[in-house]
Chains A and B, each alone.
Chain A
């Protein structure tokens, strides 16, 4: 038996000193040789837990085996069977909690770098112009997909592959949803997102930009025109703390901060028109992936001190380990056990600081994490020029307010049954619009499941009609 190689083939990266000066990808990607070497570390488990743990159940074992053989095309096609955008998910999935978290190798050594191998395949296919050969049998039925984020993409691709005519409605002027406006280019280069979306068009998905369902195209019209509808509108509306001082200049929602940077390329101002004002001292409230993204963007915009202000400790931070590690390497300071009380400012209306209270960890709450408890009388202030609220997001009211017939739950998420159908016949929903803020891969998974249920639904209808 070959000697087990316990150490991962290291991923080449831009150094922290270099990368804080640009928005280019931090990981530089595996070469073919490196990918093969990493794939060869896989022991090809009899029952691969990685696949079960993958929200889209990618055939990871076979995919890795093919990479190890140097058969990248076949490996790519295997990846693509279950995941329409492997180059994206390979970069943004929380693999440590999914495939890599249960990797047998990981018990005694480094887990296989499954994420980076997935990204390698997506990139390899893009560079070599390799795509799937599809032979679609047109079904003669039409499906509307609302939202071109991860859930919408996977639902649209699967339905198109099944031969449905799919129209994808996107409110913004660029398709991709959170992949475009939310995730910074240094984590997810936009040429990769653009390429993956061009694949949708290539297979015949009709993408309609600037179409805001509920605003300039009515939900009722879609229901009349299409045989089924999938809602993948995400959870794209910001939350604020509702504390004093949130109206001050220099206070952003993370959504605004990231939309300016990612979607509108404010880091390239004035070459791109949209500006951003980022001070020398930046405080980001929250410790999820969005908070870490915002903090790392602030570093790249030239901020001298960037703080993540979190009411629990680093242990409980919801952000991916890799991203948090990268942020710390880039100089972001993680301030644990603090909670904002108010933001204060100068006479001319700009933020000058934040008042925080110290916290301690108490008994676990409903999320299973220790509850942060305020330490009375521990208030203190920090001088800041920019405050970014990264407190999570909620579903966008624009769509929901105009579709009162759609049942929602208490926090505004769309209610669905076990087949992901809403209370309206033929209208399905998935992704963050139903689950609240989750991950790209979970949304991809829901989009795929929804596509299967929509297919079943339309089959039954076709039979009834005939």
Chain B
């Protein structure tokens, strides 16, 4: 089955989105699900965040980070991917939570943010507050790809204060927590930031659900590469997650293991560059 790219758009200098035909994934997608891509024959299986699913197509947010995502950025509309597999992972229950904060600060959090806000806002009794953080004004995604239209309150922050509120989503969230305004937090993106988030919300007793990205191969529960520790118990991000109770996660373990293939990733990039002539 061919997975044709039908739209491609830059989100900022590093991030981009693609729409790709993947009817099986689109049909069953729920916010929080992810997909596994294989871009080319001999390619790796990499998990990717899904922003939305419509008309047999899914929209994925991708960062130019390693060989595969950079190579994929060279694909044009009309090109096809080797495989798009999913939806994978356990979506959270979509129900009335009350005051819900959805926060994100990286590509793999922003896609989920959009999807979650859109779904949760439709549910009566939810008051959805979205906080999206970018480094600078130049990194902010085009408005239509943000979750602004799908929440009751929207806050954009930049770390340098060049647009929106200066600071990180945790800074904005702290005020809401102090006001007693938050019933639950869903967050995704940078793992150290999620660790800080967990530390922040714990004293308030506010349930905090973190979307975790860990290295995966099959993403179907077979390899154990994406294991994380929740209250000391081993769980697999691919089939038990990717959303976990942030207060119970061993973040140091996650951060540590994410760097396991760093040298190999650099080697893959070098090889890719030498083949494509890129510097």
Contacts and interface: CB of A to CB of B under 8 A. Distances in A.
A256 B217 contact: yes
B87 A216 contact: yes
B268 A173 contact: no
Contact of A238 (B68, B224, B265): B224
B267 interface: yes
B253 A247 contact: yes
A264 interface: yes
A190 interface: no
Nearest to B85: A210
B250 A247 contact: yes
Interface in A145-186: 171-173, 181
B43 interface: yes
A218 to B, nearest CB: 9
B265 A172 contact: no
Contacts of B250: 247
A237 B256 CA distance: 23
Interface in A182-228: 209-212, 215-217
B223 interface: yes
Q: Main SS of chain B's interface residues?
A: mixed
B13 interface: no
Interface in A249-277: 249-250, 252-253, 255-256, 259-260, 263-265, 269-277
Contacts of B264: 269, 275-277
B223 A272 contact: no
Contacts of A215: 86-88, 220
A240 interface: yes
Q: Main SS of chain A's interface residues?
A: loop
A242 interface: yes
Contacts of A270: 67, 267-268, 271-272
Interface residues of B, number: 42
B168 to A, nearest CB: 25
A39 to B, nearest CB: 40
A236 interface: yes
Interface residues of A, number: 44
Nearest to A272: B42
B44 interface: yes
A239 to B, nearest CB: 9
Contact of A273 (B43, B229, B239): B43
A269 B269 CA distance: 12
Contact of B67 (A217, A265, A273, A276): A273
14 contacts: A172-B220, A173-B83, A181-B222, A237-B221, A238-B224, A256-B224, A259-B217, A264-B44, A264-B45, A269-B268, A270-B267, A270-B271, A275-B267, A277-B264
Given A249-B260, A255-B222, 13 more contacts: A173-B45, A210-B24, A216-B87, A217-B24, A236-B222, A238-B222, A248-B256, A253-B223, A256-B224, A259-B218, A259-B223, A273-B68, A277-B260
